[in-house]
Chain A
Amino acid sequence: MSDAATATLPLWLEILVAALVLAGAAIALLGALGQLRLKSFFERMHAPAIIATLGCWCIMHATIIYLWATHGPALHMLLIALFVAITVPVTSIFLMRAALFRARRVGQNVPPSLSRVPPAQE
């Protein structure tokens, strides 16, 4: 624990950090609720995207503001948000392709593949 002189924030800054953290947590809860409520997998795919974008950026800004006000300039939180912004679309594309592949194999009504060779050449 640091000394008490650096750990106290002015009230308006504290309200700002609290609002950002609560907004991020509420957005995360909304994304998880969408995970539970939506019907099919392809609708459910969209729900966690708001956690990775808006929720993550809200909480990251809250941590940057808090760190900046108590411990001096600190930007290494940006690493986490940038990393999430890069990696989550990759995971989503992989998972979507896997789900489409499995849905085609069990014969569900999904769009056909665009990159498959025609059956005559196989």
Chain B
Amino acid sequence: MNGPVLSWALPLAMLLLAAAMLICLARLLRGPHAQDRILALDCMYLNAMLLMLVLGIYHDASTYYFEAALLIALLGFVGSTAMAKFLLRGEVIE
């Protein structure tokens, strides 16, 4: 498994990333306008992607986590762009 340094550094990094996701969740629930909520969701999927990468190191470089991180990046981009387009135009595909 992981050595003496990584065995405490990786859970600490996961804790920091989870705290960042919780802060983004607070902004998502509190944000006064719709664009604030979309921005918070955008920030949150980036944090989730980084958390997946750190989990991938923690579980001994399992490739499933890296594919999950790639999927989160892809779907987060599509979702954020579609919601921003909806705010701009009132519909997603014209």
Interface size on A, residues (CB 8 A): 56
Chain B interfacial residues counted at CB < 8 A = 51
| A60: contacting residue among B10, B13, B33, B53, CB under 8 A | B53
- 0/1 interface trace, chain B 44-65, chain A, CB 8 Å (1 if under): 0011011001101100110000
A79 to B3, CA, bound (A): 27
Q: A14-B3, A25-B16, A32-B23 are in contact. Are A95 and B33 (CB under 8 A)?
A: no
**B20 close to A102 (CB less than 8 A):** no
The answer to whether B33 touches A102 (Cβ under 8 A) is: yes
Whether B23 contacts A35 by the Cβ 8 Å rule is: yes
CB of B20 to closest CB in A, whole Å = 4
Given A8-B3, A48-B43, are A80 and B13 neighbors across the interface (CB < 8 Å)?
no
How many angstroms between the C-alpha atoms of A22 and B12 in the bound complex? 8
Q: Is the CB of B5 within 8 A of A28?
A: no
Q: Pick from B26, B27, B50, B80 the residue with the most CB of A within 10 Å.
A: B50
B56→A63 contact, CB < 8 A: yes
Residues of A within 8 A of B (CB): 1-2, 7-9, 11, 14-15, 17-18, 21-22, 24-26, 28-29, 31-33, 35-36, 41, 44-45, 47-48, 51-52, 55-56, 59-60, 62-63, 66-67, 70-71, 76-77, 79-80, 83-84, 87-88, 90-91, 94-95, 97-99, 101-102
Binding site for A on B (CB under 8 A): 1-6, 9-10, 12-14, 16-17, 19-21, 23-24, 26-27, 33-36, 38-40, 42-43, 46-47, 49-50, 53-54, 56-57, 60-61, 66, 69-70, 73-74, 77, 80-81, 84-85, 87-88
